[in-house]
Structure 1
Amino acid sequence: MTTARRIPVAIVGGFLGSGKTSLLRRVLTGAADTAVIVNEFGEVGLDHQLLRACEERVELLGGGCACCTRRADLVRTLRDLLDDRDRGRAELRRVVIETSGLADPAPIAFTITSDPMVRHHFEVERLIVTVDACNGPAQLAAHPEVAKQALLADELVITKVDLVEPEARDRLAAQLSELNPAATIRTAVHGVLEHEALRASAGRAEPGARPDGRAPPPPARAGAGGHTDDVRTLCMDLDRPIDWLGFAVWLSMLLHARGEEVLRVKGLLELEDGTLVSVNGVQHVMHTPEHLPRAAIADPRPGIVFITRGLDVHRLRDSLETFQRLARAGAGVSGR
């Protein structure tokens, strides 16, 4: 018996006027099997067969952590889409969720991974954030919500690059790269993606592809203005195979204790049996680890990126290395 593939969900965010709608129009051309979920019909100028509007209604779960907010409206909408598919009313092979300008994407990811029914049928594929080449630097500095969207993104699309000089585009790309070294950065004009990627980066995959296994850049301090002064990035080369059980226990403890401060986790791990595993998470929410065939990556260079707020990255590094030493020592004792 084979397990049906879950339906991929792409979350598209970005500040008001940053080009989300233009990008969506291009992406959705001819995509009749893609459902689009927006906050309100009136806010998005899209004419699409599977367009759904859901008024944002949230339920705060757990201990009051903002990223553990459940979108009850989103659960209902996704269930309705499944019902339409099962009744033969529509095809459904992909879902795109367009967030409002300042919305935190973390509750969307949390909802999809925490609801049993939704998790069984859907999986978060990637978070795409559009950044206006003209106004992006000022918005990143003035609005902490914009900076957080950029911090959490898998893919950052710089829009309206035809309206600025190449030097300004490159400065913004460098700023975004420093803020989120785990993200792919691309450019777009009128919704048309121009570049595959502006630069290579750590453990980064091309959009829709698998991690390329490139080594992470040196550790950096993110700086997009006053709102990100306490954001730190830890990029670790993993030159030894990882004990998976030890890593999983360590990461679970870290997210349980300090999940609000761990904004992003992304990396490529090599396990002790030679298996490659892709890990990807947003705050408390970890996507299902993905085992990758070694043949898919020509020159794997395992590494992991943590983007944190208020955490001492040196202690974070030390704790991971300590856990790995203990895990290997324990495995050695049990193997005798």
Structure 2
Amino acid sequence: MDHRIPVTLLTGFLGSGKTTLLNKLLNHEGMKDTAVVINELGSTGLDDILAKNLERTVESQHIADNTVLLESGCLCCTLTNEMADTLRDLFFKRALGAIPEFKRLVIETTGLADPGPIMGSLLNEPVIGSTYRLDAVVVTVDSIYGAEQVTQHLEAKKQVAVADVLLITKTDLATPAQIEALQNTLSELNAGASQYLIKHGNINPADIIDVGLFNAEKQATPQRWLRAPSKNKGLLGGNHSEAIQSFTITLPSPLSYDQLEPKLEWLCENP
């Protein structure tokens, strides 16, 4: 029997409904004994989650740094370091009794995150892999704009390609023709993923949490995205837009500002 903690990776492009879904999940009794890692630098910070929950009279209490226990029994913490460090910290706090026991973990990423590095950490890092197991990758897709997003944005396409479950959101705002076209597009990118039509973030947690859907062997097409270094250097725990790249040039001696200024001006004039 596998005693590792099952992890649900929740991702989806900007504005696809992750915040709404996460808030509904946090209030569901089926989410008791669940820890949720929220990317504080993303669109959904812990304060935002708490504000929405407090509107529903859900009480909460701070039990550790960046960690809050909701009345529903769901444990929320914010991602302030690298993802691997956060996962280790959660496990050790759990083992020491600093936070309540949790049976499962949900990781919410930003809308522009590439899920590959997080998946790579869960699959390839010995310490993380011996403690946690990737249970399912759940991706939210906007029923109106989703087809355009996966066509124009590599991040959205990557998210769909590695999904085990695709949640087509805001279906009350889309026409049947739009939904059907989107489903066809998603099936072309990832025929093996389950698809659910949802509105207002309502779904039974049993359909997406602790379902044992992830299979690394099934991920044949997107395997190259999982080969990224598992120790991500960014603060967000996942790579972001590849439209912005960086490189380093090491010079043998200091460069004077008089030499640098005209080059910077040229870059500004020739983006």
* TM-score, length-scaled by structure 2: 0.64
**Structure 2 unmatched ranges of 5 or more:** 51-67, 70-74, 229-271
| Deviation at residue 4 of structure 1 after TM alignment | 6.1
The alpha carbon displacement at 1:121 in A equals 1.0
Give, as a single letter, the amino acid of the residue that structure 2 aligns with 1:18: S
Q: Is the 8 A contact 2:37 2:76 kept in 1?
A: yes
- 1:136, distance to aligned residue in structure 2 (A): 0.8
Alpha-carbon displacement from aligned partner over 1:98-125 (angstroms, at most 9, x marks no partner): 1111111010011112221211110000
Distance 2:186 2:79 in 1: 31
Going by fraction, where is strand more abundant, 1 or 2? 1
State whether structure 2 residue 181 is matched by structure 1 residue 171.
Answer: yes
Q: 1:284 to 1:41 in 2, by over 3 A?
A: closer
Alignment identity in percent? 37
Q: Does 1:37 align with 2:37?
A: yes
- Cα distance per residue 1:64-103 (max 9 Å; x no partner): xxxxxxxxx1121111111221122211111111111111
Deviation per CA, 1:132-179: give whole Å up to 9, x if none.
Answer: 011111211211111111111111110000001112111111110111
Which residue number corresponds to residue 222 of structure 2? 263
Kindly provide the amino acid, as one letter, of the partner of residue 77 in structure 2.
R
- Give matches, 1:1-336, under 5 Å: 5-29=3-27, 30=29, 31-40=31-40, 43-44=43-44, 45-47=48-50, 49=69, 50-55=75-80, 73-88=82-97, 89-193=99-203, 208=211, 262-263=221-222, 283-284=226-227
Q: 1:184·1:207 contact (CA, 8 Å) conserved in 2?
A: no
Report the RMSD for the aligned CA atoms in angstroms.
3.0
Q: Secondary structure at the match of 2:49?
A: coil
* Paired residue secondary structure (1:174): helix
- Measure how far apart 1:127 and its partner are: 0.5
Shift of residue 207, structure 1, vs aligned partner: 8.3
Higher relative contact order (CA 8 A, sep 6+): 2
Q: Post-superposition shift, 1:210? A: 6.3
Separation in 1 of the partners of 2:126 and 2:15? 35
Which amino acid in 2 is paired with 1:74? Answer: M
The amino acid of 1:54's aligned partner reads L
Equivalences, count: 196
Equivalent pair of 2:135/2:210 in contact (CA under 8 Å): no
> How far apart, CA to CA, are the structure 1 residues paired with 2:104 and 2:201?
19
With structure 1 as the length reference, what TM-score do the two structures score?
A: 0.53
Whole-angstrom distance in 2 between the partners of 1:283 and 1:87? 32
Tell whether the 8 Å contact from 2:6 to 2:210 is kept in structure 1 after alignment: no
After TM superposition, give the deviation of residue 284 of structure 1 in Å: 4.4
Q: Are the counterparts in 1 of residues 8 and 105 from structure 2 also a CA contact under 8 Å? A: yes
Range that drifts further, 141-150 or 31-40 = 31-40
Mapped contact 1:184–1:206 kept (Cα < 8 A): no
Instruction: Name the residue aligned to 2:72.
Output: none
